[in-house]
Structure 1
Amino acid sequence: MSSIRFRPTAEDERILREASRPGESTSDTLHQALRLLDHEPWLEQFHADAERLKDEDVNAEPEAW
């Protein structure tokens, strides 16, 4: 895989500055951001399921075993 390069805008640089933890490189910050983006669809589904099931009463259902 080849290296990915980009020229950050002033806004990109601000976001990287604010998102970086002490001692973390820009690459580390971008890696973390990519993992969060990958996790986002799962999180959205979790919230949708939680909203759909918020009134479900599992105690009212018969035991499965």
Structure 2
Amino acid sequence: MPTSIGLRLTPDDERILKESALPGETTTETLRRALRLLDHDRWLHQFRADAEALRGEDLNAEPDAW
């Protein structure tokens, strides 16, 4: 895993960073926040897929584990 990443920003990238940065936030902090949001979005996608797969599950019909 690299310890640093080089990135040539496109004009659109620069616009997104400028519009997305919180007051006083550095570009690095903005990118880290964006990565965390992407990770959370991936987690939500998996959560929704799991919930859909278990939609008909009736836990009351299952025997108690204890």
Same fold (TM over 0.5): yes
Distance 1:41 1:3 in 2: 23
Structure 2 residue runs of 5 or longer lacking an equivalent are none
CA distance in 1, matches of 2:17, 2:3: 22
Residues matched between the structures, number? 65
**Matches of 1:3 and 1:55 in 2, distance apart?**
46
TM-score after normalising by structure 2: 0.68
Separation of aligned partners in 2, 1:2 and 1:52: 38
2:58 pairs with 1:60: no
Aligned match of 2:23: 22
| 1:4 positional shift | 2.7
Gaps of 5+ in 1: none
